[in-house]
Each structure stands twice: as structure tokens, then as C-alpha cells.
Structure 1
Amino acid sequence: MLETSARLLRLLSLLQTHGGLAPPGRSGAGGGRRSWSGAELAERLGVTPRTVRRDVDRLRELGYPVHSVSGTAGGYQLGAGAELPPLLLDDEEAVAVALGLRMAPVGIEGVEESSVRALAKLEQVLPDRLRRRVSTLNAYTVPMTGNHSGPAIDPHVLTELAHACRDRQRVRFAYRAHDGEASRRSVEPLRLVCSRARWYLVAWDLDRMDWRTFRADRITPKPPHGPRFDPREPPADDLGGYVSERVSIAAYAQRATVLLKVSAERAAEHISPTAGVLEAVDEESCLLHTGAHTLDVLAVHVLLTGFDFEVREPLALRGHLTTMRDRLDRALG
């Protein structure tokens, strides 16, 4: 009985693996996912194909949806069922999941609480050797999540938008702009882009006939959605960089380019993608492209980077910084 149980666990582990362990080039009921033939599973488990068939039936009795396709291109594959069955994780996968739950993203309503519950269940069954690894990493790791004070995003909104992107279905929603102005939008959604605690929807605005970027926490879906649409050419190959440019530069009346006397890698540790776009120059300098509503805010923003800099453009920002310097000189006597 012990041998049979161990073999079932090994069989389940193989079926749950859709990556490198599965034979390349085989796809089954999952449409693109790799599958195992009965002969291949029998060879891995050291049993006969008949025993494999019996073990597959036992897994099905336990609630695991194992699909099978007959023929030369067929095989066995674990599909999605009505309920979530237990998963088998190797050591590295278990540690990765535990750390991911501990560092759960902020800004999504309910995610942190759900992550704590899931982590408690996982840590309860972790072997001692893995529990010690996870505890050590948690004890000496501090996530930068304590300063998030923005509005939380309804996870159902994110799911609804993601499904519309996947299904290429037009979306209707109410939108609240930065200045509080409300509007109704009808868009063809492309992708969701996440930057720390902010989520953005990149979509083709059907009323403005142009690509637009929308803050997800300001979106209130107004179903029914539809119809389906044919995909358009994306506005950029790098959608993350595109959104960064849109929200940190293009959205503002005042824009600037400054040379920071620090490497782009180090600057990125202090300047988020929503605060500016960094462009490497050499190992000791980089360009910061950024924007703000006024020159006052723009000057303060550049000063607060904490790095030495030179203003490349606009000239008005140089004059504004000179005025600020003189004011500070007078204040300091």
C-alpha cells in the first residue's frame, strides 16, 4: 500500500509538471500544454502501462481531473477541475511560493489578508529544513510596503479588465481623472501594467481614437461589455516603458531632462517608473526625463532625487533653480 501511495504521488507530480520534465513537443487536452503518453509514464514510474491506467483512475477518484486523448499524438494531462486539488511542490517551489506570499503586492483590496491565510497553511506543512529557510529569509528581509497610502484596487475590477484583454472584448467604464473630472469611456483593452502599488490599463479609446493609459483604481466598469474586436498594433514594444513615459512625462505641462551624476542602476533604486524615465549614459551618469504641473514642483522633484545633476532642458528650469538658490541664501543669512 505504501508503494502504491508513493507511486501515486510521483505520478501526480509528473502530471502537474508542464515544463522541462515533460517530453518536448507533446500537447494534449489542454491546448498547447505538454502531455505524457502511457508508455512514457510507465517508464518513469517503473511499472506497466496497465498499472499507469489504474493509477490514473485512482487519481480521478480522488478528484484530480486527468484528461486522456487516444491515438499516436494522445496522452495524459492534468486539467482544471471544479475544486482546487492539493499541489505537489519541490523544495525550491515551496520556498518561492512562501516568499511570494510574504511579499504580497500592496494596493489590491483583500490580497494581503488572503496571502497571510495562504502562508499560514503552507508554513504549517513545510518540512523543518524548508521552514528554517523561509523563516531566515523573512527575518532578514524588509519589504518597502509600509508607505502605501493610495486607494486600494478591487481585485474583481482587475480580473474583469484582464479577461477583457484576453478575450479582445470592448469595455465600458466610468473614469475619474486626476482633477476629479468624471467621464464615460468605451475602449479596446490591450494590457494591464503594474508599477509597485499602481495598476494601469493600456487601451485604445474609441471616442478619442488614440491610445490612452488609465489608472485602474479610477475605473468603475459599466457592463455589459462587447462586442469583440480585432487587435490593433500596440503603441510600443515595451508597454512598461510606454506607461512610465505617459504617467511621468506626457501627462504634465512642464517637462525636463536632467543629467544625474550617478549610474542608471543606482538612480532606479530611488526613482520609480512613475516618477520619471531613466536613460543610461555611461557607468557614472544617466538622463532623467520627467515632468510636473509647475516649475516649482519640477525643481523640488529634481532636488529630492538626492543626486548631483545638470539641467539639460528647459532653460526656464535653470532660471527657476537660480531663483530658489538665491531665496535659500537669503533665508540662511
Structure 2
Amino acid sequence: MPSPSSRMLALLSLLQVRREWAGDVLADRLEVSPRTVRRDIDRLRELGYTIEATRGPAGGYRLSSGAELPPLLFDDDQAVAVALALAVAPASGADIAEAAARALATMRQVMPSRIRHRVEAIDVLATHGDPAVSPEVLVAVSEAASAHEILRFDYASAWGDGEAAPPLRVEPHAVIAANGRWYLLAWNPSTPSPEQQGRSGDDSVAAGDWRTYRIDRMRPRAPTRLPFTPRPIPGRDPVAFVAARFRGSTSTAWPCVGTAVLHLSAREIAPYLDSDSAIEEQDEGCTTVTMGSWSWRALAARFAGFDADLSIVGPQQLKDAAIEVGERLIGPTDPDRRKRALRGGVDQGTL
């Protein structure tokens, strides 16, 4: 017969995996009497677990949230997942590195050796997100999005000019973490102020449009408690929608995609490409690269950034953009001669 301690752990495990259990079903699963189940439930309550008794012919029990955090019970895989999540928490962009380190140390103290060895075998060095987001700000923004309440906040300028601007008032829909930063996807129904009209990029505010805000620049005001009706997000996938906005597109694909042959090996190029770029190594240390960007000029500059000889394959928009970028870099000295040289290089497929 199992000991009372192991039986209570088994009972707690059952209560955590299902919302409600009938008393006689719990007794059958634990192979004890309903009276023993009632005694074990009382012991769990003394430990801090809030367990509600439900009425009915058979009666039942439901594990609910309480005023304090009681001891938790994890299986091996859950314990490893939580430990790894705490280890990489500094890279999340939230300012919780110290709290995560303390929580991980607490978990390691009580981990069985078989689990501790699995966690410590993975040597994780996580870089800190920059800039970090205050947990209080992140919770306030997330609560407004979850409760579908109007959010008022001050938004810092991207240029740090210190200009005071009226607080923004938006309908928050989703909080998204991407590349070590946190963003709010919101609908801004208001008309932009003159100060806001002069801004561009993610900091701009358009009337009646979806906007993306960096949460590290947000300072929420007092909760408004004003509800709003959520709007359908285009594509119904907030993550994909924000990713498309970052690329200046209406889909997750880059709006401008082109191909060039770089005089570098694939091994030298691969670390600097996005996951959606394509490479094909050619003879004599050359590699064909297809990648995208939000504009043709940005794509031409991206190819040139590899600091190697290259031949632009196409399309023609990329060739034209390469000429424009080259003209800007060369400057006004003898512009006609420079322009003819650049156009000749592009026509011949080299730059």
C-alpha cells in the first residue's frame, strides 16, 4: 500500500490534469476509500492548495487558484522545460533575469539528481534583451489586451528627443515577443496629433489603422476599464501580421526578392542570411544567393554589404536600384561619367 505522502502526490497530480473529479472516481484511481480521499484533500488544503468540493449525487473536487503559491508538482519533462525556460529568460527581453535566476536556483535545490543532470548537461548562455521591458509594464499591457480594455500610454520617441506628446489611446489586441523585443499590436481609432503626424515607421500613428508599438517605449497610464469589441486581425494570425508589417508587406514574404552571384563560398555567406533566403554554391568559390528586403534599394545595399565582388542576376528592379545606390555612394563628382560606368557594370551583370 502506498504511503500517505506518495498517495497525496498522486492525488495532486490527478487534480492538476483535470478540472473536476468525482470523489468515487478518485478513490478508484488511488485504490483507497472515499473517506481516505477526503482526509487527503484536507491535508492538501493545509499545505495551501485551494480545493473546492462540488455538490451532487457522488460529490467531487476541483483544484482552484488560491491566495498563495503552494508547492507545485511537475513530471520530469515539465521540470526540464521550466528549468530551460528560466535559463533563457534573459534573452526574452523582459527584465526578469534576476528573478529567473533565483527561481532556477530554487528548482535545482529540490530536483532529483536524474533531472538535475539533464538540465545541467545543457550549458545555456543567454544574452540579455536590449532594451529590457519592465515586468510591470508588460503585465499592464497584457492585462489590457486580455480584458479587451482601452489602453492609454505615453510613448517615447525613437530618437530620444524628449519632446512631450499627448498620451496615445488604442485598442490592444495582442502582445508579441520577437527577436528579444516585445511588441503590442493595437488598433488606433483616433486622429493623429500634429506631433504624431511628423513621425514615421513604427512610431507613427495613423487614424483608424493597425499599429505596432514597442513595449519598452510604452509607459501605461491608469487602467481605463473601458471595454472595446475586438476586431478581426487581417489573416487572423497576429504573429504573421506583425512579421509582414516588419517587412513592409501584406504577407510574411518579402515584397522585393532578387538574386545575385557572390564571389564567396556558401560557408562564408550562410551565417548572415535569413531562414527564407536560398543559397546554391557554384564552382570557383562563387555562390548564388536569393534573398529579400522591404525595398529594392535596401536589397541592393544588402547584397553590397557582403563586401565581395558580385553579379546581379535580376530582376531588373534590383539592377536599377543598384545603380541608384551606387550613384548615392559615389557622390556628385563627374556624375555623368560615374553614371555611365555604373550602368555599364549592371548591364554586364556585374557591380
The interval holding the TM-score normalised by the smaller chain is 0.7 to 0.9
- Residues 1:56 and 2:36 are matched in the alignment: no
**Contact map agreement 2:20 2:60 (CA 8 A) in 1:** yes
CA–CA distance in 2 between the matches of 1:43 and 1:269?
57
Identify the residue that residue 233 of structure 1 maps to in structure 2. Answer: 232
What letter is aligned with 2:29? R
Quote the offset at 1:13 in angstroms. 1.6
CA–CA distance in 2 between the matches of 1:60 and 1:110?
34
- Residues 1:152 and 2:156 are matched in the alignment: no
- Residues 1:246 and 2:245 are matched in the alignment: yes
CA–CA distance in 1 between the matches of 2:88 and 2:100?
9
**SS in structure 2 at match of 1:236:** helix
Alignment of 1:13-28 (within 5 A): 13-18=13-18
Identify the residue that residue 67 of structure 1 maps to in structure 2. Answer: 52
TM-score normalised to the size of structure 1? 0.75
CA deviations over 1:241-268 (Å, ceiling 9, x no partner): 2112223326xxxx7433488xxxxx99
CA–CA distance in 1 between the matches of 2:256 and 2:77?
45
Identify the residue that residue 28 of structure 1 maps to in structure 2. Answer: none
Identify the residue that residue 199 of structure 1 maps to in structure 2. Answer: 182
What letter is aligned with 1:156? E
Structure 1 85/154 Cα, relative in aligned 2: closer, same or farther at 3 Å?
same
TM-score normalised to the size of structure 2? 0.71
Structure 1 10/39 Cα, relative in aligned 2: closer, same or farther at 3 Å?
same
- Residues 1:161 and 2:141 are matched in the alignment: yes
Task: Provide the alpha-carbon RMSD of the alignment.
Answer: 3.6
CA–CA distance in 2 between the matches of 1:71 and 1:304?
72
Identify the residue that residue 289 of structure 1 maps to in structure 2. Answer: 293
- Structure 2: which 5+ residue stretches go unaligned? 191-206, 250-254, 262-268, 281-287, 331-340, 346-351
Identify the residue that residue 197 of structure 2 maps to in structure 1. Answer: none
Identify the residue that residue 95 of structure 1 maps to in structure 2. Answer: 80
CA deviations over 1:287-311 (Å, ceiling 9, x no partner): 523259xx4x654434447998755
What letter is aligned with 1:122? M
**SS in structure 1 at match of 2:321:** helix
% identical aligned pairs? 38
CA–CA distance in 2 between the matches of 1:50 and 1:288?
68
CA deviations over 1:78-100 (Å, ceiling 9, x no partner): 11111110011111111111111
Between 315-324 and 233-242, the greater mean CA deviation after superposition: 315-324
CA–CA distance in 1 between the matches of 2:187 and 2:154?
15
What letter is aligned with 2:116? R
Tell me which of 308, 314, 321 is aligned to 1:317. Answer: 321
Identify the residue that residue 172 of structure 2 maps to in structure 1. Answer: 189
**SS in structure 1 at match of 2:227:** coil
CA deviations over 1:175-217 (Å, ceiling 9, x no partner): 1343456452111110011102111111110211111111111
**Contact map agreement 2:150 2:169 (CA 8 A) in 1:** yes
- Residues 1:258 and 2:269 are matched in the alignment: no
Structure 1 82/269 Cα, relative in aligned 2: closer, same or farther at 3 Å?
farther
Quote the offset at 1:279 in angstroms. 7.8
Quote the offset at 1:320 in angstroms. 3.7
CA–CA distance in 1 between the matches of 2:270 and 2:100?
28
**How many pairs were matched up?**
292
What letter is aligned with 2:156? R
**Contact map agreement 1:175 1:185 (CA 8 A) in 2:** yes
Structure 1 248/90 Cα, relative in aligned 2: closer, same or farther at 3 Å?
same
**Contact map agreement 2:185 2:212 (CA 8 A) in 1:** yes
**Contact map agreement 1:108 1:154 (CA 8 A) in 2:** no
Structure 1 291/210 Cα, relative in aligned 2: closer, same or farther at 3 Å?
same
Structure 1 198/271 Cα, relative in aligned 2: closer, same or farther at 3 Å?
farther
CA–CA distance in 2 between the matches of 1:157 and 1:118?
21
Quote the offset at 1:73 in angstroms. 9.2
Please say which structure displays the higher CA radius of gyration: 2
**Contact map agreement 1:199 1:217 (CA 8 A) in 2:** yes
Structure 1 179/305 Cα, relative in aligned 2: closer, same or farther at 3 Å?
same
CA–CA distance in 1 between the matches of 2:93 and 2:181?
9
Structure 1 103/168 Cα, relative in aligned 2: closer, same or farther at 3 Å?
same
Quote the offset at 1:108 in angstroms. 4.0
CA–CA distance in 2 between the matches of 1:137 and 1:101?
13
CA–CA distance in 2 between the matches of 1:225 and 1:271?
44
What letter is aligned with 2:14? L
CA–CA distance in 2 between the matches of 1:73 and 1:175?
56
